[in-house]
Structure 1
Amino acid sequence: MDWQNQLITVYLTSCKFFSQLSPYIFFKISPNSNPLFTDEETVTIYIFGILNELKNIKSIFKFTKNFLSEWFPNLPSYEGFLFRLNNLNHLFPELSKFLLQNKKFKLNSDSTKPFVLIDSLPIILAKGSCT
């Protein structure tokens, strides 16, 4: 599959995922119900970057800005993209479940084991002051 077809497939899968979400799982609390840059585009860019072995969000954003700007003309600043992606973080377990149920990819492990999504780099934030 060439990269254009891959990008289109990821986008259509993302749109299908968002269209089937329950309002109990995902509810937009924004006065801007029709943003220029959508959540579907945000997820598409992130997944496309991962599929193309880009290592972090900044490299995914730079790649998109430099090479896919015609595909995403309303791409916000890096900070705006990061904000949108971080606000969507709670959807990734549901997205993983959706991809598995719709056979978008297969697991090599025993199917009796549960599928678990974990953060590869958890960061502990400390509260309190230094004295």
Structure 2
Amino acid sequence: MDWQNQLITVYLTTCNFFSQLSPHSFLKISPNSNPLFRDEETVTIYIFGVLSEFKNVKSIYKFTKNFLFEWFPHLPSYEGFLFRLNNLNQLFPELSNFLLQNNKFKSLSVFYTC
């Protein structure tokens, strides 16, 4: 699978996961009801970075900013991205189970170590 199809698959899978969440189990962190950069994009960038074998969040962010900016034109500052990602940390165990149950990405077993 080429990287564009992989990125799209990660995004669609992430959106599918978010659509299945109970509204009581997860609150959007943006005070804006229609933010330009969504939580789904934050998670997509992180997962795509892990799949691309980047070692830390800063390298994932730099890669996204330098090479994927057309795909994510409303990417916030690094601090803004990190804030959003950190606020989504309780979501990752449930997301890991979802991805592994749906057998979407075999290399995502790394999430069990986070």
Does the pair score TM above 0.5?
yes
TM-score normalised by structure 2 residue count: 0.90
User: Are the equivalent residues in 1 in contact too, given 2:42–2:81 (CA < 8 A)?
Assistant: yes
> How many residues get paired?
111
Moved more, 79-88 or 21-30: 21-30
Structure with the largest fraction of helix? 2
The letter for the 2-side match of 1:60 is I
- Structure 2: give runs of 5+ residues left out of the alignment: none
1:10 aligns with 2:10: yes
Q: Distance in 2 between matches of 1:62 and 1:29?
A: 23
Deviation string 1:3-31 (CA, Å, 9 cap, x unpaired) is 00000000000000000001222123643
Q: Name which one, 1 or 2, has greater alpha-carbon Rg.
A: 1
Deviation string 1:53-94 (CA, Å, 9 cap, x unpaired) is 100000000000000000000000000000000000000001
- Structure 1: give runs of 5+ residues left out of the alignment: 108-115, 120-131
Matched residue, 2:21: 21
User: Are the equivalent residues in 1 in contact too, given 2:14–2:40 (CA < 8 A)?
Assistant: yes
Q: CA RMSD in A?
A: 1.7
Q: Distance in 2 between matches of 1:105 and 1:70?
A: 24
Residues 1-131 of structure 1 aligned to structure 2 (within 5 Å): 1-28=1-28, 30-105=30-105, 117-119=112-114
TM-score normalised by structure 1 residue count: 0.79
The letter for the 1-side match of 2:81 is F
User: Are the equivalent residues in 1 in contact too, given 2:28–2:39 (CA < 8 A)?
Assistant: no
Tell me which stretches of 4 or more aligned residues in structure 1 moved more than 6 Å: none
The structure whose RCO (Cα within 8 Å, separation 6+) is larger is: 2
